[in-house]
Amino acid sequence: MAGSGYTDLREKLKSMMPYRDGHKGGGGLPREPPEPPYDRKRRHQEDSGSEPSDYEEQKEEEEARKVKSGIRQLRLFSAEECAKIEARIEDVVSRAEKGLYKEHTVDRAPLRNKYFFGEGYTYGSQLQRRGPGQERLYPRGEVDAIPEWVHDLVIRKLVEHRVIPEGFVNSAVINDYQPGGCIVSHVDPIHIFERPIVSVSFFSDSALCFGCKFQFKPIRVSEPVLFLPVKRGSVTVLR
């Protein structure tokens, strides 16, 4: 997803922070709404047990309003279409288990496996230097190309329904969550991802939570500012 004035995103990243020797560095299938069933959850001050103040409630309501203004949801894929795509995803998982993909195509984590196609990128514990803006694309060719079935069964439908323009997608990422799996709060790197980010959900219903605070060992999470139900076969567009 190239940035303004650059035909190759790597040129933009190189101008911001030159590559260090051996440093590798993402992409992703790009995520006013027509009133989907949003469920607003209030956070309470758990430690003190007191009710949130009017100011805190107003601040949270304003934050939730801003989040919702940048989200659009559509139900585009039928149960039959989902089943066909899910069978293809299962094939991706099977091929990965047999070692048929390039090294950086597959990223494994507890309860979640990630499959990069088209472009891949370093993040989290993979970074040589931690912090926002440090994410880097892998050199071209170090992840597998976007499978034809992704173009035919997913991207084409997004283009036909004018979710994205023709030629917008140059990277597709499959996140395969096991029962109990999730991803911590994050912002897809603004220097790597062109907006909108487009997410399509398969296999089951799920949810996106905004404004959560995580604690680890043991893992705990605060009430979200916004809880967004995500149905199987739905498309979520994040501007």
Residue 121: active-site member: yes
Query: Which of 38, 101, 121, 138 does the annotation list as catalytic?
Result: 121
- For tokens 């040129």, the residue is 11
Contact criterion met (CB below 8 Å) for 169 and 155: yes
Contacts of 232 (CB under 8 A, 6+ apart): 79, 82, 201, 202, 203, 204, 205
Closest CA to 74 of 229, 233, 239, 207: 233
Distance between alpha carbon 125 and the CA centroid of its chain, in Å?
Answer: 17
DSSP alpha helix (H) spans, 70-204: 79-97, 148-150, 156-160
Q: Using CA atoms, how far apart are residues 89 and 39, in angstroms rounded to an integer?
A: 30
- Report in angstroms the alpha-carbon separations of 41 from 33, 114, 226: 18, 29, 6
Provide DSSP, 135-150.
--BPPTTSSPPPPHHH
- Report in angstroms the alpha-carbon separations of 134 from 122, 171, 238: 9, 19, 22
Residues designated catalytic: 121
